[in-house]
Structures are given as structure tokens and as C-alpha cells.
Amino acid sequence: MGYLLNADLTLLANFNNPNKKVRVDVRYMVVNLYFEGNLIATRYSDPFSVMRANSKITDVHMLTSQVPLSQQHSQMLARQMASGAVLLEIKGLFRTSLHMIVILVQNNANELHRIQLFSITASI
């Protein structure tokens, strides 16, 4: 016979963008939380941006409700909690867009030249 897990967890995720020319937009982020290979929680995060040469800390609030665990996993979790360190696995799916700065350059002949603008969208 197994046990049911109810938990309230908050993860802090730090997103760094060291690039000085590109802003990163996270269109969506899905975070899955596992204990011993068992999915115990999943969370969707609203879109956000990380500006050029900046970082952003976002909190991911995760709730588990009535997640079945075997007796062995329940005992393992109890031992880890008693020791003060619970080993969890986090997997995330991100869809991001990168946006380059547009720069106008004026030469000696008073002609304006536009440096190429680009945008990339990727799923990680």
C-alpha cells in the first residue's frame, strides 16, 4: 500500500543574459518536478523578458495534491526530510525569442546605414 503526497514548494529560478546586444523573451516556461522518477508537480509560468546584460529571478510556486507514492518512496522521502535535504529532479521546457538592437550609423557623407536586425525563436 502506498501513501499520498501533498506538498507546497517554491523554486527560485535565476535567468542570466550576459549578452549586451540581445534581449531574451521567454514566451512560455513549463517546469516539471520529479521525486525518484515520479512526476509530482508541474507548473506553467507567464511570459517574461530578461533585458540586455541583466538577470531576472522568478519564483515558481508548485503544489502537489494527492500524488501517490509507494511505501518505499514514502520512507525514502521521510528519511531525506529528516536529514534536511530532499533530492528532487527538475525538468523545464522553454520557448524563447532573442531580439537584436537596431543601430543606425552615420558616415562622413551624412548617409545613414542600418545594421541588420534579427530575431530568433527557439524551444529548449
Q: For 21-54, what is each residue's pLDDT tens digit? A: 888 899 989 999 999 999 999 999 999 999 989 9
CA-based nearest residue to 36, from 82, 78, 69: 69
36 in a domain, yes or no?
yes
Query: Does 113 have pLDDT greater than 60?
Result: no
**Tally of domains in the chain:** 1
Give me the half-sphere count of Cα atoms (radius 13 Å) on the Cβ side of residue 96.
Answer: 14
pLDDT for 21: 80
CA-based nearest residue to 43, from 86, 85, 91, 81: 91
Hey, is 81 helix, strand or coil?
helix
pLDDT for 33: 95
35 in a domain, yes or no?
yes
- Residues spanned by the domain of 8: 3-21+28-94
Distance separating alpha carbons of residues 98 and 12, to the nearest angstrom: 23
16 in a domain, yes or no?
yes
pLDDT for 89: 93
pLDDT tens sequence across 9-28: 999 999 999 988 888 899 98
Distance separating alpha carbons of residues 109 and 98, to the nearest angstrom: 33
